[in-house]
């Protein structure tokens, strides 16, 4: 008869020995249930701890899902591919001036002087032809200048042109309709000058601020915000009263505002959640230990008084 082989037992014993040696590195030692003591206070702290962790987790999850829009300022021309041009959209109503008298003139420091601009513009009669609504899209150079609504291009100048008006829209560049960005992209929209002096000129002094909006995909849109100051006056010269007009005098700011969509990185979200769970349990454990120790000390004091 052959001898029984003990090799499998030796191999099994070798593996068990290796497992015991590896278990020495366990920093999460397990405490037997017989050595633990549940308490009423500990249960309350545990429930509050879990609710607090749930609240912080939902708050961080909301912040992780929500897209954040951050802004920054820098000195540069953001839209270098525009050819030094800015697109302008103007919509204005003059309820007491005939359409054949209304015109748009454009001037700037590069020598441009255009009277009666008609490209991409439209005149809509108002009040049975008494008034006019002017809508136009045109471009201006990126240098100081002005454009104005006047009767300068009319064949025959009226004696008393009425320049009372309502500005429905004046915007520069692309139209930005973003919920998280509240800028002055149409600062003059809704400006009502119907009760002003009919023979007065109106000066709107604009400071145009280049604006860039970059979404999460990296696509950029170029627009312009602007601030405005205005004055109303009746102008005279040595020959008499000057024909009134509605002037938009503009200058560009060297500062560019950039809005960027950002979302919190996944690793930062995970790190924050781990910090919340670990920190909450640590503080709750310290609090529970202090309450338990104080309770036990109080019991010993009470027992001492009884004896």
Tell me how long the chain is. Answer: 307
How close are the terminal C-alpha atoms of the chain, in Å? Answer: 77
Which range (56-60, 167-171, 285-289, 301-305) has the least confidence? 301-305
Q: For the chain, give the mean pLDDT.
A: 86
- Structural domain boundaries of the chain? 40-66+265-292, 76-254
pLDDT at 145: 96
In this predicted structure, the answer to whether residue 306 has a pLDDT above a threshold of 80 is: no
Alpha-carbon distance 169 to 175, whole Å? 11
pLDDT at 111: 93
pLDDT higher for 299 or 102? 102
Which range in 20-24, 159-163, 228-232 is most confidently predicted, on average pLDDT? Answer: 228-232
Query: Torsions phi, psi of 281, nearest 5?
Result: -65, -35
- Residue 39 DSSP one-character state: -
Which range (58-62, 122-126, 144-148, 226-230) has the least confidence? 58-62
Where residue 13 falls among pLDDT bands split at 50, 70, 90? low
pLDDT at 76: 83
pLDDT higher for 115 or 27? 115
Query: Which tokens belong to 208?
Result: 């145009």
pLDDT in tens, 249-300: 999 999 999 998 888 888 888 999 999 988 988 888 888 888 888 887 887 7
In this predicted structure, the answer to whether residue 5 has a pLDDT above a threshold of 60 is: no
> For residues 220 and 212, is the Cβ–Cβ distance under 8 A?
yes
Alpha-carbon distance 106 to 116, whole Å? 8
Residue of 234, 250, 159 whose CA lies nearest to 196: 234
pLDDT higher for 148 or 9? 148
The mean pLDDT value for 25-51 works out to 75
Question: What pTM was estimated for this model as a whole?
Answer: 0.70
pLDDT in tens, 57-95: 999 888 888 888 888 888 988 887 778 899 999 999 999
Residue of 262, 256, 176, 252 whose CA lies nearest to 211: 256
């Amino acid at each position: 008869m052959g001898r029984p082989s003990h090799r499998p037992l030796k191999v099994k014993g070798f593996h068990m020995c290796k497992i015991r040696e590896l278990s020495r590195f366990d920093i999460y030692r397990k405490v037997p249930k017989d050595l633990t003591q549940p308490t009423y206070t500990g249960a309350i702290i545990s429930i509050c701890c879990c609710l607090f962790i749930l609240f912080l987790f939902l708050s961080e999850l909301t912040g992780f899902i929500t897209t954040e829009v951050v802004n920054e300022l820098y000195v540069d021309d953001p839209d270098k591919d525009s050819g030094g041009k800015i697109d302008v959209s103007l919509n204005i109503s003059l309820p007491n001036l005939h359409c054949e008298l209304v015109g748009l003139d454009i001037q700037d420091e590069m020598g441009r002087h255009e009277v009666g601009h008609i490209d991409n513009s439209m005149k809509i009669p108002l009040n049975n032809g008494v008034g006019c609504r002017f809508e136009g899209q045109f471009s201006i150079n990126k240098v100081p200048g002005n454009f104005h609504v006047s009767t300068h291009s009319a064949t025959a100048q009226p004696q008393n042109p009425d320049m009372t008006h309502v500005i429905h829209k004046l915007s520069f560049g692309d139209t930005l309709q973003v919920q998280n960005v509240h800028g002055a992209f149409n600062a003059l929209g809704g400006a009502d000058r119907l009760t002003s002096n009919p023979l007065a000129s109106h000066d709107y002094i604009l400071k145009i601020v280049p604006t860039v909006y970059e979404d999460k995909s990296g696509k950029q849109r170029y627009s312009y915000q602007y601030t405005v100051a205005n004055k109303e006056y009746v102008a005279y010269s040595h020959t008499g009263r000057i024909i009134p007009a509605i002037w938009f005098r503009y200058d560009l700011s060297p500062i560019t505002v950039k809005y960027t969509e950002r979302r919190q990185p996944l690793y930062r979200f995970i790190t924050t959640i781990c910090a919340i769970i670990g920190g909450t349990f640590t503080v709750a454990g310290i609090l529970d230990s202090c309450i338990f120790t104080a309770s036990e000390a109080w019991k010993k004091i009470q027992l001492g008084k009884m004896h």
